[in-house]
Amino acid sequence: MELTLPDLDGQHRDLREFGGRVVLVNFWASWCTPCVQEMPGIQRLSEQMRDKPFAAVAVNVAEPASRARTAAARLGIDFPVLLDTDSAAFNRWGATVLPTTYVLDGAGMIRYVGRGPLEWDGADLVELLSGLMGSGDPSAPAVGAGASAPE
């Protein structure tokens, strides 16, 4: 999937810069309580996976940069926060609810879609991500792509 958006500093970022890594792309907003509740788990996951081929990217949907920046600082997010001020990327990716999170494999293929809040640093999801990092096989079948997250 393609995604090129400005970050909180106004620099355009492209998902291709994370090529070869498993990438978690989380669409969120500061007014969305479930989004805010799940963000600490994504931050912990990002810290836990720091030395692995993994990257987390938060995409703030339909909010001004100042609001996204304040929320990201309050939540202690230290991974890239991109700004989708017109919701175009949110719509292009087929997201319909906040939060929606996509997990892409090293080849950039969607392998998992989580709709609604999840505990991203929970054992099941860490195992899923670790498996994607270990397989390195872009032809491997998608895990839950296009499906709701496991209960």
* Sign for the pseudo-dihedral over CA of 34, 98, 65, 4: positive
E strand or H helix that includes residue 55: strand 54-61
Domains in the chain: ranges and CATH: 4-8+16-135 (3.40.30.10)
For residue range 14-47, what is the model confidence (pLDDT) as tens digits? 999 999 999 999 999 999 999 999 999 999 999 9
**Looking at residue 147, what is its pLDDT?**
38
Q: Give 69-76's long-range contacts (Cβ < 8 A, gap of 24+).
A: 69/8, 70/30, 71/30, 71/36, 72/8, 75/36, 75/39, 75/40, 75/43, 76/40, 76/43
Mean pLDDT within 143-148: 40
Name the residue with higher pLDDT: 1 or 109.
109
Whether 110 contacts 143, CB under 8 Å: no
Whether 23 contacts 57, CB under 8 Å: yes
Most confident region among 1-5, 34-38, 135-139 by mean pLDDT? 34-38
For residue range 56-106, what is the model confidence (pLDDT) as tens digits? 999 999 999 999 999 999 999 999 999 999 999 999 999 999 999 999 999
User: Is 60 exceeded by the pLDDT of residue 151?
Assistant: no
Rounded to the nearest 5°, which phi and psi values hold at 40?
-60, -35
User: Is 80 exceeded by the pLDDT of residue 140?
Assistant: no
Model's pTM, two decimal places?
0.89
**Looking at residue 135, what is its pLDDT?**
60
